[in-house]
Amino acid sequence: MTTVIEAVGLTKHYRGGVHALDGVDLRLDANRIHGLLGRNGAGKTTLMQVLTGQLVRTGGDARVFGADPFEDAAVLSRTCFIQESRKYPDGYRAKDVLAVARELHASWDAAFEERLVDDFRLPLDRNIRKLSRGQLSAIGIIVGLASRAELTFFDEPYLGLDAVARQRFYDHLLADFGEHPRTVLLSTHLIDEVAALLEHVVVIDEGRVIVDADADELGQRAFEVSGRSDAVEAFAVGRELLHTQRLGSLASATLLGPLDPASRAEAESAGLELGRVSLQSLIVHLTTDLESAREATTKGARR
Ligand SMILES: Nc1ncnc2c1ncn2[C@@H]1O[C@H](COP(=O)(O)OP(=O)(O)OP(=O)(O)O)[C@@H](O)[C@H]1O
């Protein structure tokens, strides 16, 4: 597989000791939809800004299509970056933004643009400042999709979009990706909504990559058991526990590790039910529960 994005020890530090990126190692393959997930302030936007040459890195190396993206016009012409906080010049109407984007992207599909404008009901003649939050997001989505750039970054592209419009975005992205494969890096907090789209998932936390895995493999990383609390507790002994929940005499536990045949048999003979862990729960547990568990262990060891 061709690598489109490669980062080695990538750092971006700000004054005041902020390590927005703190040694990011990453390789993203071509023609896949990659998810970039993580909590607020984890470093997702910073990573995209460095990879699109909008920010200068402090250290390490970043390659996009094999070149340094910073001020490399050839790299940037193959890239489309959709950012939620984009500012437009005074007096611009929605159709002016689309006209500029059309000029910038060699693979722009005007017929697709037209369909998307209809589908997202974008008022083309309205001044950009008068558009609703959702309509502004729709502009970004239309540009990101119709540009058909070889590499598209969507940074939280759908602030303010209603559930119907978000579903349309997912449907269009998936259908168009099927016909015109390209590389997409999508950052979002609506993890379960996009889980089915993602082939590969990167989770960053405090500027570091904590998960870098194919979505299928990630689904095998944890499982849930539920049933009588004493049976759940007994089953959890010796296993890495991510999370537990109790309700009266019943409990459920999220455990790390693949569900091998022996564990399955053990759970079944203890009368426990087995279930999958959603991508969102897994990531929430990995970025919060594991952290607290490790903190508790470190504190315990220090005592
Ligand atoms: N110009 C700046 N000066 C100082 N710190 C900054 C600057 N820009 C970003 N940061 C900090 O860098 C960290 C990473 O920010 P970033 O915007 O990349 O996070 P994010 O993962 O995109 O968050 P969110 O999901 O909330 O959008 C945060 O702690 C943020 O406060």
CATH of the domain at 281: 3.30.70
The chain-wide mean pLDDT, for the chain, equals: 91
* Same domain, yes or no: 203 and 297: no
The helix/strand/coil state of 236 is helix
Domain region containing 266: 221-301
The Cα 198–Cα 168 span in angstroms is 16
The per-residue pLDDT for range 33-75, each reduced to its tens digit, is 999 999 999 999 999 999 999 999 999 999 999 999 987 888 8
Banded pLDDT at 295 (limits 50, 70, 90): low
Look at residue 289 in the predicted model and tell me its pLDDT: 57
Facing residues of 296 across strands? none
* Same domain, yes or no: 294 and 228: yes
Q: Which of 189, 217, 245 is the endpoint of a domain?
A: 217
Tokens of 131: 């558009």
The Cα 221–Cα 193 span in angstroms is 20
Look at residue 186 in the predicted model and tell me its pLDDT: 97
* Same domain, yes or no: 179 and 296: no
Domain total in the chain: 2
- Of all protein residues, the one whose alpha carbon is nearest to atom 11 of ligand 1 is 20
Pocket (CB within 6 angstroms of ligand 1): 14, 18, 20, 38, 40-46
**Listed residue (302, 86, 70, 37) closest to 185, CA to CA:** 37
Q: Which atom of ligand 1 is nearest to the CA of 42?
A: 21
Using the mean position of ligand 1's atoms as its centre, give its distance from the Cα of residue 65 in Å: 25
